[in-house]
Structure formats: structure tokens, C-alpha cells
């Protein structure tokens, strides 16, 4: 389906024109919601854009944005785009050496930072960047070398008075194929790559995704949506543009640890998520049942089991539909109340959502869809929609997206969503494309007879056992993650005889379970035999669903979870497999040396 090309400022302006007025967005700070209405937002974008112009920012210049989610983040981003300049987002959790690399590689002219504290942490790195002319702090600061966000807006407002039509002329000069943003992929190996996306890359992807919404755009108009994923990631950023295009009210939470209370306060219609949050919700529901006893406990777990078997493609009918209504009355409706009472649906991205969690979320009364894409594809390649929700699939490709499967089963795609290339890296850009113009996703998958796309794993993540069998670790990790007692897991086995795993137990759930057995585990948990026994039981259960060569034969328990701070996770919470394998090399070798020792005896 062909679509007319457009720029992001023009596209979003149309969405703001559809907004009913009043609150456009709100951010939670210090436990209080700070609201911004439509007209204040519009004025702030225009004034900040002109303030940047007064600082010498011109079309094509790169402006870095290092901040947590906030209304101001959105204002800065749209102001940068309105000048034809290039927005370069940086995660608030990004390691210092990567921030320095991004600023140097992008040759950022202006650096925007959210707080004095965040600047203080990166000051030594930022100081030596030759291209930087100015640094702006979003929140007030007394640092002499930092410009205040408010002062820049004031300067812009004065410039607007001198030449009211200048900004509109600048916006009209932007072309759909002009560079809009450089997003540095966090990467599980090596230095970040600067993905160049044009205005039309992102706008075309938003417009095609609108056709796949589980509800009409009109239903989103004036309704609350909740945002917790980082705006520096292309998934949430594209979702945000979608919200703005429909006239929604966006609420940015302060901390993921407070999200339960935020759901109650905000009462959102919809939100975007990654699988981990839904997995934790699913686990929490299962663990909650342990508080009951007798018939109540039996009915509760019966409802949970039924939910895990639900198929949105084939909703229950006849007696099964009656059974569903009973389960909904007894269990599901109570779970829905945890989300504020207005929630109708969610979209999951960033990683594969397990079939069990997908079925569960749809069974309890939500429309839970999942999609697939990459930063390089703006990001959506395929997404589910009501009527096309085959469990285990990523849905069907967008209307303006082509997908094919290469001989080695790699997923290839082409269309207006594919990036312009990697910034300052033509060689890597060439490597990412086939000779006939298809982008190589690096993922392995298949398309079934009905056109549904299924993702197996990252091509580089798959490994070959010494027996010759191939293993897709994502499948095995997904099965293990269903356990409420396993917080994180990484499966290994490349050129080994069998699969093993590095497991981080869910300390809270493990302790709750053992407390019911009148047992207090010793610290560290990794050394407690009862804890190991509990985890072994979960591994055995997961192994029953696996092919013989995929089964986890041995495992190592860790006491500290993988984290961004430790360098074991990317800012998008993907495990850096090489880092983890190197860090726990001795433990891994011990697993396999024990096996060799056993064979010699």
C-alpha cells in the first residue's frame, strides 16, 4: 500500500490539531504529576526550537539528548526535528565510555542533559568533545557552563517575536528523506552503531502501524496512555509519535518500581511494554495463589491454567465459553483492576513474548499484541492485530513492508522503513544489505502458510553442540523463564556436548516458597541445597518441553542479577552473552570439566 511521504514535524502537527485540548502529557517527579497542556507544549516546542536556532543550530547538525523520559524530552526532540537538525538520543543509563563515543562519532554540536547530577557524572567525558558548542540542562542548574532550558526557550520566544514566520519556513524546507535521527544501538558486542533514520522512515512506519491498531484512532483521542520504556529506544519513541498523531494524553512514570500504583492513578487505555514486565505480572499472579487454600486455591489455579491455554484465534465457545465467564468472574476481573480499570490493551516488543504469557494476557480480558522489528527498520516489520493473533508469531508484515526468508533462514526485509545506513560507517552499511537491496535482520525465522512471521532467535546467538545439533537459546531461556523462581537465565553450550545455564533465582519468590515449608534458606542462596533443589525442579519441568539436545543438563546459580551497571545488560536489558561468558568463565568450565571427570571414572 503506497503512502505519501511526509516529515515528522508536519505529521505530528496534524495529530496535535486533532487533540481535544487540556493535558497533553504529564511526568511524575518526586511522587507528583507535573502536567503540560496542549498549548503550553506547542509553544514550548516552537520557543525551544528558535532558542536552539539562536545558538547557531542549523539543518543537519547533530544535537544529543541525554535524559530520562519526560515531557521536556519530547519537547526537545520535536524542536530539534523542526529545525531540520538531527536528534541523537542517549540512554540515561548509558555507560560513560559509550556516551563519549556517541558524542565524538556523531560530532554533536549541542548536548542536552536532563539534570545537574547526570551532567556531573559525565562531565569529564563531555569536556573534551571538540564539536560541542553548548550544553543545556533541562532542569535548573547553577553550573556556570550550562545553559538553562527555560533561558533557551525565553531566547527563542524573543526570536519568534522578531520573525514570527521563520520557524514555519524552516519546517517547510525539511524533506521527507532528510536525516531525522541517529540512534546508537546498544549492541551486545562492540561499539554502538549509529543507525540513520529519515523523517519518512519513521513517519511511514507510524502510518502503517496505525492500520494495525487493536482499536480505532478515535478511541485513543483524549485518552490516557502510560509510558515507561525509554524514549531513547526507537520502539517507545515511535509509539510516542503514534500517540501524538491520535491526540492521546501521555503519562510518563518516574520509576518502574511504582508502576502498579501508577496504573491505578493514570487509568490508561493502552501502554507499550517489553516481555519482562508481563512475565513478572504472570509470575506474580501464579505466586499469589499460594496464599489461598482448599477450594479457593483449586479454583484460582484452574483459572490460571485455563488462561495459559487460551487461543485468541479460537476464542472459547459453547460450554467452554461458560467456563471462561466463570473464571473471569472469579479471577480475571480482579486481575484487570490492578491496571486501573480502563486498560484495554498493550503491545509488547523488544524481545519475544512467550506463548504462555501471550495467551494469559489475552485470556484475562486484554488485547495483548506483539510485534517484531529493529532500530534499523524504524522499527516495526510485523505486528499482530485482532483477527491476526496466531500464538508464537509476530503477526504479519505491515502493508508497506516486504519480508522474505533467505536460504540460511535469515529474515530479510525491504521497504520505506529500512534505515539510510550506519553513520560514518559505509562498510558496515554494505554488509547489512544484500546485493539486491534487502536488509539482513540478523534474526532467524520462518513464514507459515498463512503469512505469519515466526522468529526463532538471533542468528549469532544460535550455537552448535559438539554432537552437531543446533540450539536456539531463546527458546530454552523462554521455557525456563516461565518459572516464578527464575529471575534471569542464559543458556550456553557452543561446541559443548550438552546445554547448561547460568541462572539468577528470584530471591523473593524462592524465600516465600521455602517459608511455607518452614525453611529459612541460608545466604548466599546459590550455596543453599534446598534452593538448588527448587531450581532443579523448575529446570526439570522446562526440560520436558524441550528436544533431548536442548535440555539443560547442569546449571550455575548467581546471587547478583545481570545489570546495566555491571555491563552484563544493554540499556534495553538484553544480555551481553560474551560479557557474561567471560565473567563467569571459571564457573562454566567447572560445569563441563565435572562432566569430563565423570566420563573418566
pLDDT of residue 597: 47
- Residue 94 domain boundaries: 8-198
Average pLDDT over the chain reads 93
| CA angle centred on 351, ends 336 and 183, rounded to 5° | 115
pLDDT tens-digit map of 375-434: 999 999 999 999 999 999 999 999 999 999 999 999 999 999 999 999 999 999 999 999
Distance from CA of residue 74 to its chain's centroid?
A: 17
- Residue 305 host element (H or E): helix 294-308
Q: What is the CATH number of the domain that holds 498?
A: 3.30.300.30
Q: Is residue 223 part of a domain?
A: no
Last residue of a domain, one of 168, 198, 228: 198
Over residues 547-574, the mean pLDDT reads 90
Q: Is residue 232 part of a domain?
A: no
- CA–CA gap between residue 167 and residue 526 (Å, rounded): 60
Q: What is the CATH number of the domain that holds 318?
A: 3.40.50.12780
| Same domain flag for 417 and 486 | no
3 state DSSP class of 343: coil
Over residues 467-490, the mean pLDDT reads 90
| Same domain flag for 171 and 114 | yes
Is the model's pLDDT at 305 over the cut of 50? yes
- CA–CA gap between residue 120 and residue 118 (Å, rounded): 5
| Same domain flag for 381 and 485 | no
Last residue of a domain, one of 180, 198, 216: 198
| Same domain flag for 158 and 108 | yes
Please, what sign has the CA dihedral across residues 498, 502, 507, 508?
Answer: negative
Q: Identify the residue whose cell numbers are 515511535.
A: 238
| Same domain flag for 442 and 405 | yes
pLDDT of residue 516: 87
pLDDT tens-digit map of 309-344: 999 999 999 999 999 999 999 999 999 999 999 999
pLDDT of residue 2: 53
Q: Is residue 227 part of a domain?
A: no
Say if CB 73 and CB 231 are below 8 A apart: yes
Q: Is residue 60 part of a domain?
A: yes
First-last CA distance in the chain: 66
Banded pLDDT at 596 (limits 50, 70, 90): low
Beta strands in 358-498 (DSSP E): 367-373, 380-383, 396-397, 402-405, 410-414, 421-422, 439-447, 453-458, 463-464, 470-471, 486-492
Last residue of a domain, one of 198, 227, 247: 198
Is the model's pLDDT at 144 over the cut of 90? no
pLDDT tens-digit map of 67-78: 999 999 999 999
Over residues 36-55, the mean pLDDT reads 98
Q: How many CB atoms lie within 10 A of CB 522?
A: 11
pLDDT tens-digit map of 193-226: 999 999 999 999 999 999 999 999 999 999 999 9
pLDDT of residue 251: 98
- CA–CA gap between residue 188 and residue 488 (Å, rounded): 16
Q: Is residue 336 part of a domain?
A: yes
Banded pLDDT at 83 (limits 50, 70, 90): very high
Indicate the pTM of the whole model.
Answer: 0.89
Lowest mean pLDDT, pick from 39-43, 107-111, 425-429, 457-461: 457-461
The larger pLDDT score, comparing residue 35 to residue 574, is at 35
| Same domain flag for 512 and 592 | yes
| Same domain flag for 336 and 477 | no
Banded pLDDT at 462 (limits 50, 70, 90): confident
| CA angle centred on 32, ends 28 and 38, rounded to 5° | 60
- Bridge partners of 560, per DSSP, are none
| Same domain flag for 467 and 414 | no
| Same domain flag for 188 and 337 | no
| Same domain flag for 449 and 467 | no
pLDDT of residue 599: 39
Banded pLDDT at 501 (limits 50, 70, 90): very high
Please, what sign has the CA dihedral across residues 474, 480, 483, 486?
Answer: negative
| Same domain flag for 64 and 159 | yes
pLDDT of residue 350: 85
Q: Is residue 249 part of a domain?
A: no
| Same domain flag for 516 and 442 | no
pLDDT of residue 594: 67
Q: How many domains does the chain have?
A: 3
Q: How many CB atoms lie within 10 A of CB 595?
A: 15
Give DSSP secondary structure letters for 96-111: HHHHHHHHHHHT-SEE
pLDDT tens-digit map of 343-354: 999 999 988 888
pLDDT of residue 8: 98
Q: Is residue 247 part of a domain?
A: no
Over residues 436-458, the mean pLDDT reads 94
Q: How many CB atoms lie within 10 A of CB 265?
A: 15
pLDDT of residue 598: 42
Q: Is residue 254 part of a domain?
A: no
Amino acid at each position: 500500500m503506497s503512502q505519501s511521504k511526509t516529515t515528522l514535524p508536519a505529521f505530528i502537527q496534524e495529530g496535535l490539531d486533532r487533540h481535544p485540548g487540556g493535558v497533553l502529557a504529564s511526568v511524575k517527579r518526586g511522587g507528583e504529576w507535573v502536567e503540560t497542556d496542549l498549548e503550553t507544549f506547542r509553544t514550548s516546542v516552537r520557543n525551544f526550537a528558535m532558542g536552539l536556532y539562536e545558538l547557531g543550530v542549523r539543518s543537519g547538525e547533530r544535537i544529543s539528548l541525554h535524559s530520562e523520559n519526560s515531557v521536556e524530552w519530547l519537547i526537545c526532540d520535536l524542536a530539534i526535528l523542526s529545525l531540520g537538525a538531527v536528534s541523537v538520543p542517549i540512554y540515561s543509563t548509558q555507560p560513560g565510555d559509550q556516551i563519549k563515543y556517541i558524542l565524538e562519532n556523531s560530532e554533536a554540536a549541542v548536548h542536552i542533559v536532563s539534570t545537574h547530577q547526570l551532567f556531573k557524572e559525565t562531565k569529564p567525558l563531555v569536556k573534551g568533545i571538540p564539536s560541542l558548542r553548548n550544553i543545556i540542562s533541562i532542569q535548573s542548574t547553577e553550573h556556570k557552563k550550562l545553559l538553562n532550558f527555560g533561558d533557551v526557550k525565553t531566547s527563542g520566544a524573543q526570536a519568534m517575536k522578531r520573525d514570527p514566520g521563520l520557524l514555519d519556513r524552516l519546517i517547510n524546507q525539511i524533506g521527507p528523506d532528510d536525516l531525522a535521527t541517529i540512534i546508537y544501538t546498544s549492541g551486545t558486542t562492540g561499539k554502538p552503531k549509529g543507525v540513520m533514520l529519515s523523517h519518512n522512515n519513521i513517519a511511514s512506519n507510524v502510518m502503517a502501524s496505525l492500520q494495525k491498531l487493536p482499536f480505532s484512532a478515535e478511541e485513543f483521542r483524549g485518552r490516557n496512555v502510560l509510558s515507561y520504556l525509554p524514549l531513547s529506544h526507537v520502539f517507545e519513541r515511535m509509539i510516542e509519535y503514534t500517540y501524538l498523531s491520535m491526540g492521546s494524553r501521555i503519562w510518563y512514570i518516574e520509576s518502574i518500581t511504582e508502576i502498579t500504583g501508577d496504573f491505578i492513578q493514570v487509568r490508561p487505555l493502552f501502554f507499550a511494554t517489553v516481555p519482562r514486565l508481563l512475565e513478572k505480572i504472570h509470575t506474580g499472579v501464579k505466586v499469589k495463589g499460594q496464599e489461598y487454600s482448599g477450594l479457593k486455591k483449586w479454583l484460582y489455579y484452574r483459572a490460571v491454567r485455563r488462561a495459559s491455554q487460551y487461543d485468541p484465534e479460537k476464542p472459547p465457545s459453547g460450554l467452554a465459553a461458560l467456563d471462561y465467564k466463570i473464571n473471569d468472574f472469579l479471577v480475571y476481573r480482579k486481575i484487570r483492576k490492578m491496571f486501573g480499570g480502563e486498560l484495554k490493551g498493550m503491545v509488547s516488543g523488544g524481545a519475544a513474548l512467550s506463548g504462555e504469557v501471550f495467551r494469559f494476557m489475552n485470556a484475562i480480558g486484554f488485547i495483548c499484541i506483539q510485534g517484531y522489528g529493529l532500530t534499523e527498520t524504524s522499527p516495526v516489520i510485523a505486528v499482530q492485530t485482532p483477527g491476526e493473533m496466531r500464538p508464537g508469531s509476530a503477526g504479519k508484515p505491515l502493508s508497506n513492508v516486504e519480508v522474505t526468508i533467505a536460504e540460511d533462514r535469515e529474515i530479510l526485509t525491504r521497504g520505506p522503513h529500512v534505515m539510510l545506513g550506519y553513520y560514518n560507517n559505509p562498510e558496515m552499511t554494505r554488509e547489512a544489505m544484500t546485493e539486491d537491496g534487502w536488509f539482513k535482520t540478523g534474526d532467524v525465522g520462518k513464514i507459515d502458510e498463512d503469512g505469519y512471521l515466526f522468529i526463532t532467535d538471533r542468528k549469532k546467538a544460535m550455537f552448535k553442540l559438539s554432537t552437531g545439533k543446533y540450539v536456539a537459546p531463546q527458546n530454552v531461556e523462554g521455557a525456563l523463564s516461565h518459572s516464578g523462581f527464575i529471575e534471569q537465565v542464559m543458556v550456553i553450550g557452543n561446541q559443548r556436548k550438552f546445554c547448561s545455564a547460568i541462572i539468577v533465582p528470584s530471591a523473593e519468590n524462592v524465600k516465600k516458597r521455602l517459608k511455607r515449608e518452614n525453611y529459612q534458606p541460608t545466604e548466599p542462596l546459590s550455596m543453599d541445597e534446598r534452593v538448588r533443589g527448587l531450581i532443579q525442579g523448575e529446570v526439570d519441568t522446562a526440560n520436558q518441553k524441550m528436544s533431548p539436545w536442548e535440555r539443560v543438563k547442569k546449571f550455575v546459580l548467581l546471587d547478583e542479577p545481570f545489570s546495566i551497571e555491571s555491563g552484563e545488560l544493554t540499556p534495553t536489558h538484553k544480555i551481553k552473552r560474551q560479557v557474561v561468558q567471560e565473567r563467569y568463565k571459571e564457573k562454566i568450565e567447572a560445569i563441563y570439566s565435572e562432566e569430563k571427570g565423570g566420563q573418566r571414572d
